[in-house]
Amino acid sequence: MKNLKLKAARALKDLSQDQLASAVGVSRQTINAIEKGDYNPTINLCIAICKTLGVTLNDLFWEPDAQ
């Protein structure tokens, strides 16, 4: 499933995938894979991304139950 929240939060901070990747110490392709839903990051990477974007884990990675 695509992570559009991450893409939106990144755009809000005016960061490219490459810039976010450099900030959290991963490759651009890894950020791209997370946004596309091709890769599930570890909690450590999730925290690093959230800290860089100034958001919480819930904001980016929590999916509310669809009722």
Partner 1 sequence: MSGEWREPTDKNKEKSGSDIRRKEFIMSFYWILGFAVGVVLVAIICSMGRRMQKKAGKKPADYDERQVAARGKCFQTAFFTLFSANVIMALLAVIFDGYAILEGPVPYLILIFLGATVFVTAAIRNDAYFRPGEASKGYTFIFGALGILNLIGGISHIVDGSMLDEAGRMDTGCMNLMAGLFLVITAAAILIKQVQDRKAAADDEGDAE
Q: Interface with partner 1 by CB under 8 A: which residues?
A: 7, 11, 14, 16-18, 21-22, 25-30, 32-33, 39, 41-42, 44-45
The smaller minimum CB distance to partner 1, of residues 45 and 55, is found at 45
Shortest separation between residue 66's beta carbon and partner 1, angstroms: 26
The smaller minimum CB distance to partner 1, of residues 32 and 59, is found at 32
Please give the angle made by the CA atoms of 31, 43 and 20, to the nearest 5 degrees: 30
Asked if residue 28 lies in contact with residue 18, where contact means CB atoms within 8 angstroms, the answer is: yes
